[in-house]
Amino acid sequence: MEKRETTLIAQDTLQFEELVTAQHSATVSDTRLREDGFAMTDIEKIHIIAGHFREIMSTLGLDLTEDSLKGTPDRVARMYVKEIFSGLSPLNKPEISLSDNRYQYKQMLVEKNIALCSCCEHHFLPIMGKVHVAYISSGNVITSSNLQQIIQYYARRPQVQGRLTIQIADKLKSVLNTEDVAVVIDAVNLCASLRGFNDRNNTTFTTEYGGAFLSAERKREFLSYIA
Ligand SMILES: [Zn+2]
C-alpha cells in the first residue's frame, strides 16, 4: 500500500462527528457510483429530478403556480446535472496536457489560493474555500488551468472535504507521475453555518501528503508558503 498521510481538523463537535464519518469513508477514495449511473441521458435525468424537486417544494407547502417559483424545479435539476454535479460523469473528465520541465526545476512548485466551490454530500449545501497544491516535478509540470480543471472535476460532485482532498492528490500523483504531492483544502462547510451551530468563520482544514511531503521539513516549508 502506498504511503500517505491524511489530516482532518474540525473546529467544533458537530463537524468533528461528520468528519469522523467522512474520514472513515475516505479510506475508499473513489466516489461510489451505481453501475447503471450513466445509462440515462442528461435530459432524462433533468426531467426526473425536476419532477422530484417539484414534489419537495410542494410538500413544503409552496405554491408552484407563483411566478418566481414555477421555474425552480427545472432550474435546480439543470444546475445539478449540468453544473454543480457535472463531475460525476466520466464524460466530463478533463483532458490534461503537461508541459516539459525543460529547465529541470527540481524544487517545490506551489500553486496556492485556488478557489474551491463544492457541495457537502450529507446536506447538499456548499463547501467553499481555497485549495493549495505543491509538488516536486519528476520531469513534467502542469499548467494552472489544467490544475483548476482537475480541482473542478472532483469538486463538482456531492463530496466530503477529506475525500475531495485525497481525490485531487491522487489524480495529481498519477498525472505528474510522482508521489511527491501535497494538497491542502481550507474551507467553510456551509451546512454547519446555515444550520446554526457555527459562526461563519469556522473553517475546516484537510491535508493529504505523499512522498517527499511526508517529511516534517518539506511539510513545514510548504505550509510556510501558504500561511
Ligand atoms: Zn453537511
Cell numbers linked to 198: 457555527
pLDDT in tens, 23-49: 434 445 889 999 898 899 999 999 999
Question: 163: CA distance to ligand 1 center in Å?
Answer: 14
Q: Which of residues 161 and 5 earns the better pLDDT score?
A: 161
Question: 159: CA distance to ligand 1 center in Å?
Answer: 9
What domains appear along the chain, each with residue ranges and CATH number? 4-34+100-226 (3.30.1130.10), 42-88 (1.10.286.10)
Spell out where the chain has E strands: 4-9, 98-100, 108-120, 126-136, 140-142, 158-159, 181-189, 204-210
Question: 122: CA distance to ligand 1 center in Å?
Answer: 5
Question: 119: CA distance to ligand 1 center in Å?
Answer: 8
Question: 39: CA distance to ligand 1 center in Å?
Answer: 28
Q: What pLDDT score does 3 carry?
A: 56
Question: 19: CA distance to ligand 1 center in Å?
Answer: 10
pLDDT in tens, 74-126: 999 999 999 999 999 989 999 888 877 777 778 899 999 999 999 999 999 99
Lowest mean pLDDT among 88-102, 128-142, 163-177: 88-102
Question: 23: CA distance to ligand 1 center in Å?
Answer: 14
Cell numbers linked to 97: 496536457
